[in-house]
Each structure stands twice: as C-alpha cells, then as structure tokens.
Amino acid sequence: MVLLPLRATVTNGLAAAPGDSTACPIIPALARGSAAVSNLDTPNEVQLADERWTNWFFRPSRATVETWLASFWKRHLVLTLLPCLAVWLWVAMPFPVSDPYKDSPLPDWPEWPEWPHRIKSNGTEGGDEEDLPIDVNFYFFLIWYFGAYLAVALFFITNLFSLYRLNWWPSRLGGKATYFLMWSTTLAIGLLAHHLDLFGLHARWRDKPDEGFDWERKTFWVVLSFAAMHLPAVACFSKLKRDKRHVYRHAQPVVQYTFFGSSLRRVPSSWVRFLWFMACLAIAAFSLIVGQELITTAYASLFLSTLPHTSLDAGTWVWSWVITVQLLSLISNYIIASKVRSRALLFVYKLFFQLVYHVFYRNLFARLRSPSQFATVQLLSSIVVVIIFPFQLTRLWHRILQFFVGYSQPWNEHAEAVAISFYTRGLAQNITMVGFLGWLSILHLGPNSQIYPFFKFAQTEDDPYTFALTFIASCGVWSLELISSFVARQIMSRGFNIDVSGIGLDEMREYPELVPACGWASVHVSMNILMFLIKLNFR
C-alpha cells in the first residue's frame, strides 16, 4: 500500500474550470462515515426512472449506487457475484473442437469432458504414440472467447478514462462508433495473422510440435489485446497534442519574447498530470503480463519441473510474487496520489493490484501438493492482515514515517488511506475466491476441461492431489481469510475507531463511477489469467 499526502484539491480531468464538479476537496477520514452519507442525494423515483440501464455499466447515478450499497446482500451481489458470473459464463461456453485423429472438417461440440479417440486414419488404435492435442475451432475462439475478452478490456480502460474525466474518442465519431471500430479492427488483425501465418507458428508446429508454440500463440493474442486496450490512450494523446493542450494557450508578450525568447514557456500542469496517468496505465499492463509469465511460464517450467517442494519453497514462491506486486502498486499509487491527484483512480488501482496478486494466488492452489503448503501460505497472509494493517494505524508508525521519509499527511488522512487499502484487499479476496471456486468447478467438470489441462488434476502416485482436495482446501483458506479479516476489522474499530467498510463504501458513494469500474477491473483481471491458461491448438 501507499501512504501519501492526500489533502489537496482533487482534479480528475486535464483541467478543472472554476465551479467544475470534477474538482472537489478531500474529506478527512473521521469526518466521513454516517455523517457523510446524509449529505448525499437520497434515491428518488424520478432520478431512478430517468436513468437508462446502460448507464449502470459506466456512469450510474448517485441514487442508483446508493441503492446498490444500501444492504449487505445487494452490494455483495453487485461487487462480488456479478463480475464472477460474467467470467463463469464466458469460460463455460463449450468450445467447438475437432478430433485430431479424424479427418472431418466439421467441428464437434462437446457436451461433456471427452478426450480425443486415439484412432489412426486407417482405423487402428494409436498404441503408444504421443497423444495429439484437440483442435479448437478458431472462429469461435476469435469471436466469442477473444472478442469478449477484448470487449471487457476496452470497457475497463474506458472506465479509467471516465474516472479521469476525459473522453478518449474523437468527437466526430463518438464513443460507440470508435469503440466498435477498435474492437472489430483488432479482431480483423487477429484473423489475418492467423490465416496468413505471419509468425510462422503453423509451419513450425507441423515440423516440430512443442509446448513453446502454445505459449507463443497465447502471447500473441494477449499482446494484441493489450495493444488494442491502449489504443484509447494513444488516440487521446494524439487528440490533446493536436489541440495543443501540451502548451499554454495565451500568447507571449512581444517584450517578453524579445528579451527571454521561448525560455519562459512551461508545460501546463494538466498535461504533466495526463502523462503521469499514461504511465500508470503502462504499469498496470506490465503487472498483468508479468503475472501471466510467472504462473504459466516460470511456474510451469521451473517450479513444477523440480518437484517435490517443501512448504517453505511454496511460501517463498508466492511471496516473491507478493513483493513484485506490492512494488508495482507502490509506484502506481504514489504517482496517482501525488502526480495525478485523483481519489477515484487511487481506489481503483489499489483494488486492481490486489486482484492481480490474489488471482495468481488462487490459481496457485491448483498446483499445491499438500494441505501443509496451503497452511504455510495462508499463515503468512493472516499475519499480514492481523498484525501489519493495525500496526500501520498506530501513532508510532505514523511518527516513524514522518521522521524517516518526511511524511506530511496528518494521522486522520493516513488512517483513511490504510482503511481503504484494507477494504480493497478484502474485496479482492472475496471476488477472486468466489471466481476461482466457480471456474475451478466449471473447467474441471465441464466440457472445456479438454482445453484447460491446468485444472485437469490427473491423480498419480507422485501427484496425489485431487479436485476435491483443492476445492475443500480453498474453502478452508477462504474461511481463515474471513476470520482474520474480521479480527483485523475489530482491532481497527475498537482500537482506533476506524470503520473500514464505512470508509470504503463512502468512497463509492462519493464517486459513483467507482462501482462499475471495480466490476470491470475484476472481470478483466480474471479473464486475463484464464486467457493464458487455455491450451490453444488451431487446425
């Protein structure tokens, strides 16, 4: 987490005009809570009736968000269950596949897990020959699987720009047309790359099948989606440059230009803030790519190839990823808090990096070999939750920060920053665990188990771990997480008078766009890791 001075005017856009609603003062932590809620517009039938349901996905009204957050069940439905349902629907849709031992050009549509029949073209059994991977229907992958993945990525980046109060699309085309153009163009590029075999993957696969080609193929699609995802940033950058938003618009006096030339020209602070925002987008993309490489490449090729491992080895592996994510999170949060100065973006980025860490952590459960490894990993996590977070609220820690790093933030705002970090951590824990238990069951028991061997759980003497043990152990870990989170919340509430849930929910009430932004972030991060775990082989 990052502990930074936040008492300043928050400007979410490139420039805040006098009276602009995008600039609003920070409310101290202890002044917010139940009192802050009373200042919000209460839901009324007129406002809710005038709002279109499509606005719920990008810019819901304050009345709508207040309705969502009013009860425990509604807010967990919106913040936790609905993002998971979207991912489950996406990954549960049966892939049309073709049996590599058959010459039929028509794909099979599996209704239940069924591995290809090892029958040669002459009708004899394949014997001891190496099993061929099934052939996935490319067009289904392109339109449904990759198309939905790309659409969510563009939705997520659009929500980030919405929180920044900046439209990235050209005004002449409009948002919907520009969005569809980017989405369809990206699919067309993928279609051409596949049929023209631009990278020679088809030819190399026929000559020498190897696991590396599957990794290269998935890397291409992920990189293509990230390139499309950042096209809005490029378009926005070009638009602002064309409008000369990177220079002051007022003319320089003749006398000043005569004596000083252009030496007095400065870059507007709004432009610098925009560049820092672009840097944060790049860091977020980098963190996702690093996570994919760790769980699919380094983990599969290094960690699993050197079995068996002790519980300490598993804990060391997990915490190496924790440190990496926390460093990237610190950098991003520092930039947003001190350079971009947007509370809403700071909230989303804290949640985003917690999601990136926890979704890797959850999928690691599918490869832990014993309950003792679960216990070791969870013990370290519980220590952080119960001890570290409450300690960060102490006056001692606050004075240490002031003395060693020149921390200028008052304790009230420091306490609020810690509370928001803890709230986003708990939200990410619940989202990723509910999502993991769902897609674990779907991909192990459903028809797409053929193309997700990561969740196959082929039990052997050397690898006795099973789906049932993974599911039960994961539920046990989740229970311990809920208990440790409850204990930490009680310590914060009784020892420091900090209502973690109240502060987190008030942040969403103050910035209604946070709710859909958090939802799209959850769906995007979950889809991203599943995209890299799929086994792709196109005929």
Output 444 or 137, whichever has higher pLDDT: 444
Q: What is the mean pLDDT of the chain?
A: 77
Query: Is a pLDDT exceeding 80 seen at residue 452?
Result: yes
Q: Report the range of poorest mean pLDDT among 159-163, 249-253, 361-365, 465-469.
A: 249-253
> What is residue 167's predicted lDDT score, i.e. its pLDDT?
83
Residues 411, 396: Cα–Cα separation, whole Å: 11
Residues 293, 386: Cα–Cα separation, whole Å: 31
Average of per-residue pLDDT across 410-427: 94
> What is residue 11's predicted lDDT score, i.e. its pLDDT?
38
Q: Residue 325 — very low, low, confident or very high, per pLDDT cuts 50/70/90?
A: confident
The upper half-sphere exposure of residue 253, i.e. CA atoms within 13 Å in the direction of its Cβ, equals: 4
Q: Residue 229 — very low, low, confident or very high, per pLDDT cuts 50/70/90?
A: confident
Domain layout of the chain by residue ranges:
72-118+133-248+266-533
Q: Residue 123 — very low, low, confident or very high, per pLDDT cuts 50/70/90?
A: very low
> What is residue 384's predicted lDDT score, i.e. its pLDDT?
80
pLDDT in tens, 329-386: 999 999 999 899 899 999 999 999 999 988 888 877 766 666 776 777 778 778 888 9
> What is residue 496's predicted lDDT score, i.e. its pLDDT?
93
Residues 524, 83: Cα–Cα separation, whole Å: 9
Query: Is a pLDDT exceeding 90 seen at residue 533?
Result: no
> What is residue 213's predicted lDDT score, i.e. its pLDDT?
55
Query: Is a pLDDT exceeding 70 seen at residue 432?
Result: yes
Average of per-residue pLDDT across 162-168: 87
Residues 169, 172: Cα–Cα separation, whole Å: 9
The radius of gyration of the chain from alpha carbons, rounded to an integer in Å, stands at 25
Of 6, 2, 3, give the one whose Cα is nearest residue 341. 6
> What is residue 492's predicted lDDT score, i.e. its pLDDT?
94
> What is residue 245's predicted lDDT score, i.e. its pLDDT?
67
Q: Tell how far CA 188 is from the center of its chain.
A: 25
Q: Prior bond to 308 cis, omega within 30?
A: yes
> What is residue 321's predicted lDDT score, i.e. its pLDDT?
72
pLDDT in tens, 93-105: 988 876 655 655 5
Q: How many helices (H) and strands (E) does the chain have?
A: 22, 4
pTM to 2 decimals? 0.81
Output 437 or 325, whichever has higher pLDDT: 437
Output 6 or 363, whichever has higher pLDDT: 363
pLDDT in tens, 247-287: 665 555 655 555 555 544 567 788 889 999 999 998 988 88
Query: Is a pLDDT exceeding 60 seen at residue 309?
Result: no
Output 201 or 324, whichever has higher pLDDT: 324
45: phi then psi, degrees, rounded to nearest 5: -65, -35
Torsion angle (degrees, nearest 10) of CA 512, 518, 523, 525: 150
Output 214 or 2, whichever has higher pLDDT: 214
Query: Is a pLDDT exceeding 90 seen at residue 468?
Result: no
Average of per-residue pLDDT across 62-77: 93
